Structure 1
Amino acid sequence: MALTALALCSCALLKLGAAPIASFEEGTAEAEVAANLYPSTRDALLSVHPWGFATGQLRLPRLAASPVADYDHAFQLPADFLRGISTGGVPYRIAERRLHASTDEIVLTYIFRPAEADFPPFFDQALIARLAAEFCTPITESTARAQLLFKLADDEMRRARLIDAQQETAQALDRFPLVEARG
């Protein structure tokens, strides 16, 4: 079942023993905390790992204006860009929301912000656990409880990363010098 931003926040609030929210604008402390902490927490969690569901490739459009120094061309980053992963071996730098490189054409592999409906269940659970930890201190004023929730969120994140990593073919080792040295 695909969850919305509101449903993800409500699940996190329920984990705290707080009331779920019906709207981010309802005027309660829970709604204010959720509205302010959700976007940055979601983006941070998406950015820390190259999730298969949030990784894309795109040929970037070259901009007319060149960078001031170091590289020959500037390219427009996508609107949903969170973090760059690779340009296929081409040296680059990301500065001022543009990618700079000395090539005429570039394909960027990057982390993007998918819609909440596209989050897989394992990521939903990691995000809910992290949101509960983030919401804990402002709502309950219990730092000890928040520390426990952060530990549980880290465990849930490890589990989600493991599941995500199992959704692609493992890379084979074509050549391994230590084995070759044994003869």
Structure 2
Amino acid sequence: MALTALELCSRALLRLGAPPIASLEEGTAEAEIAAGLYAGARDALLSSHPWSFATGQATLARLQAPPVADFAFAFQLPAGFLRALSAGRGVAYRLLEDRLHTDAPQVALSYVFRPDEAAFPPFFAAALVARLAAEFCIPLTENTARAQLLMQQAEGELRAARRADSQQATVQAIGGFPLVSVRG
């Protein structure tokens, strides 16, 4: 089932025992808190792990103006960029503002991006709802003990989501490890 930001926030509010919202702009305390905290919590969770559904690759466009110092070339980062994973095998780079600086004349960037909420798999949506409930707790209830409990639950959901996501790729075999070759 494809979810929206509104549905994710409403689910988090329901976990707190608060009424769901019909719009992020409806003017209620719940809507204002959801609107103010949602994007930051979503992006923090997305950038915390190289999620398979939010990882992409792109050949970056080189900018005409070279960097001022350190590297020879500057490249424009893609829209929705959240976190770099690599700029190619063995390529040294640095991120500055919305650019990638490197000495390589071409860059194939592997990165985490911000996908549409409809692309969130159920395991990630559950982790995000749990995290949102923890984030919304103090502003709505002023109950720090409950917020700590909800944050612990959110961490558990995040571990489960990472585990589910990591099972969506072939396990890499250990190769060239000296202790394995000694066994004969």
| TM-score bracket relative to the smaller structure | over 0.9
User: Does 2:92 align with 1:91?
Assistant: yes
- Which sections of structure 2, spanning at least 5 residues, go unmatched? none
Identity of aligned residues (%): 66
In structure 1, the residue matched to 2:132 is 131
Q: Note the alpha carbon deviations across 1:113-168, whole angstroms, 9 max, x for none.
A: 00000000000000000000000000011000000000000000000000000000
- 1:19-69 per-position Cα deviation (integer Å, ceiling 9, x unaligned): 000011111100000000000000000000000000000000000111011
Offset of residue 180 of structure 1 = 2.7
Q: 2 CA distance for matches of 1:108 and 1:114?
A: 17
What is the SS of the residue equivalent to 2:27? coil
- Distance in 1 (CA, whole Å) between partners of 2:183 and 2:173 is 20
Q: Which residue of 2 aligns with 1:161?
A: 162
Distance 2:21 2:2 in 1: 18
Structure 2 residue matching 1:133: 3-state secondary structure: helix
Aligned amino acid, residue 147 of structure 1 = Q
What is the aligned partner in structure 2 of residue 174 from structure 1? 175
1:14 is matched with which residue?
14
What value does the CA root-mean-square deviation take over the aligned residues? 0.8
What residue ranges of structure 1 are gaps of 5+ in the alignment? none
Residue in structure 1 matched with residue 146 of structure 2 by the alignment: 145
**How much has 1:182 moved relative to structure 2?**
4.3
Give the whole-Å Cα distance in 1 for the aligned partners of 2:178 and 2:148. 44
Using structure 2 for the length normalisation, give the TM-score: 0.97
Q: Secondary structure at the match of 1:24?
A: coil
